[in-house]
Structure 1
């Protein structure tokens, strides 16, 4: 895509994003966006195809904004506290940008997520892998990520759906702490640490390690990680 088309696409997305946040997805039409951007509807169709294409592009734009905020969350040294801060940032983003959030996580198109959604999950996995490496997870990181996303999106969508005057922040706090109590332990591996915790910690360490530093062949590392996951159950 040439520079002129890229600038035009960016301008349309900015106009559409402003309309979306102000009036919601139901009020968003290709004709409305084209008029607000000062272009012909045909030009918008050339860049996005149709309204569905425009909404998909807006979802990617929303995830980009979300990830930009998430990347400001520097590790604190306590991976469980980082999980708390990541949860709170997620909920806060949803409440500040409800129309964006509904487009990101309230889709009516099952099984379809923009590629940026994968990047958001991978970012969550980095925090959970760190917790596992410190011996703080009770379950494998992939399962912890699935449970965390299910819980935090449910809470955020529930709060968005409630009148602002009825939103109780305690709902998010209690759900966050209940999840963290389920997923984590109080301390890293000690001499009497559970076998499952040690297995998870070693598996996470192998996941982050440079293959050149692991004195095993790839097939042996894969087998070891499979055994470790079995021990973690």
Structure 2
């Protein structure tokens, strides 16, 4: 691969070895040998072997999402979130070694870099729903809940060969999480509906303010955001 940029060679080598490892360890030496570089080159581009493998999985996940997004209808934010959940599940089932790697190498207080990337993607998808007043909780909290629940579903499915292709559990969990994070204005529960409506409105205004940072002074903006956060929390 002499004409391929060094960084891409390292990513390709890491991907091949990770896929072939079947859950086992991938050594720095093996990656460098396959890429035709020395270890300092890997550290220069990625900081560590962990950084390289995180980049491999993140790149694979982003590429997968790009191919899945070609024919999406962006008119319904909640449907986009629902479809995003399903794509996340699909990626985990189609790439179980990659996905298992994400959670097999983390420790107490240490997050895999890929998790941060996925949360950022979720936040981007949740913003339109927040701006339309469709969320009952802050987008950051919604993203964390979606990621925790969907990751748990994927790990359950890929470790259970007998039920690994049965997606009913995923659908049930998805709908339960969406029900919990979205505004629910059922007429039979007026007090809860009023509280949810106020929280949704506060979250919506907070999201819209991201696109109009100069409408208030910095002090006024900080005060307003504090009030909005309190209303959303209540």
TM-score, with length taken from structure 1: 0.80
* Equivalent residue, structure 1, for 2:63: 68
* Equivalent residue, structure 2, for 1:198: 201
* Equivalent residue, structure 1, for 2:22: 24
Distance 1:114 1:6 in 2: 27
Shift of 1:8: 3.7
Shift of 1:6: 7.7
What residue ranges of structure 1 are gaps of 5+ in the alignment?
none
Alignment of 1:43-58 (within 5 A): 43-48=37-42, 53-58=48-53
Distance 1:5 1:230 in 2: 56
- Residue 155 of structure 2 is aligned to residue 157 of structure 1: yes
* Equivalent residue, structure 1, for 2:90: 92
Distance 2:140 2:35 in 1: 46
Alignment of 1:172-191 (within 5 A): 172-185=170-183
Question: Quick check: 1:128–1:145 contact (8 Å CA) kept in 2?
Answer: yes
Shift of 1:223: 1.0
SS in 1 for 2:48: helix
Question: What is the count of residue pairs matched by the alignment?
Answer: 216
What residue ranges of structure 2 are gaps of 5+ in the alignment?
186-193
TM-score, with length taken from structure 2: 0.80
What do you get for the CA RMSD once the two structures are aligned? 2.7
Shift of 1:83: 0.7
1:169-202 Cα offsets, whole Å, 9 max, x none, are 1011110001001111368xxxx88222211111
SS in 2 for 1:137: coil
Task: Point out 4+ residue stretches in structure 1 off by more than 6 angstroms.
Answer: none
1:189-216 Cα offsets, whole Å, 9 max, x none, are xxx8822221111111112x1323x2x1
* Equivalent residue, structure 2, for 1:219: 219
